Amino acid sequence: MKSIATLKAPQAIGPYSQAIESNGMIYASGQIALRPDGSFNDGDIEAQTTQVMYNVSAVLEAAGSSLQNVVKTTIFLTDMDDFAAVNAVYGSFFADHKPARSTVCVKALPKNARVEVEVIATK
């Protein structure tokens, strides 16, 4: 196993890695709308989702992968009324590639984020 870290995404805010590579797979921790400098993007749901996807992409690139290699995503939302807006931004990052996905509504997320995305990708 190999721990993945990049300064192009926010540092972990707990005892975990940005991602782990194991047997040619990348398991990326959930990303919220933190900027790489640690400040929180507290904009609307579209702005938060955009920041999250930039973070996910940066972690994957540090691992030698990309969004085009994502096989599964999990989206966590604090409000299912945000589903359509999140879906639109999320879809713009994947174009024709459509990984398997789950979307779950949760009571709360770290830093009062409205959206979090975790991914599994191939190398």
CB 52 within 8 A of CB 32: yes
Q: What is the dihedral of CA 7, 65, 115, 108, to 10 degrees?
A: -80
- Taking only the tens place, the pLDDT of each residue in 30-66 is 999 999 999 999 999 999 999 999 999 999 999 999 9
Percentage of residues of the chain with pLDDT beyond 70: 100
pLDDT of residue 79: 98
| Total residues belonging to the chain | 123
pLDDT in the model for residue 67: 97
Band (pLDDT 50/70/90 cuts) for residue 112 is very high
Q: How far apart are CA 69 and CA 76, in angstroms?
A: 21
Token pair listed for 34: 């933190």
High-pLDDT (> 90) share of the chain, %? 96
pLDDT reported for residue 14:
86
At residue 19, the pLDDT reads 98
Domains, the chain: 2-122 (3.30.1330.40)
The confidence band for 95, taking pLDDT boundaries of 50, 70 and 90, is confident
H helices, E strands: number in the chain: 2, 6
pTM for this model (two decimals) = 0.96
CA separation for the pair 25, 121 (Å, rounded): 6
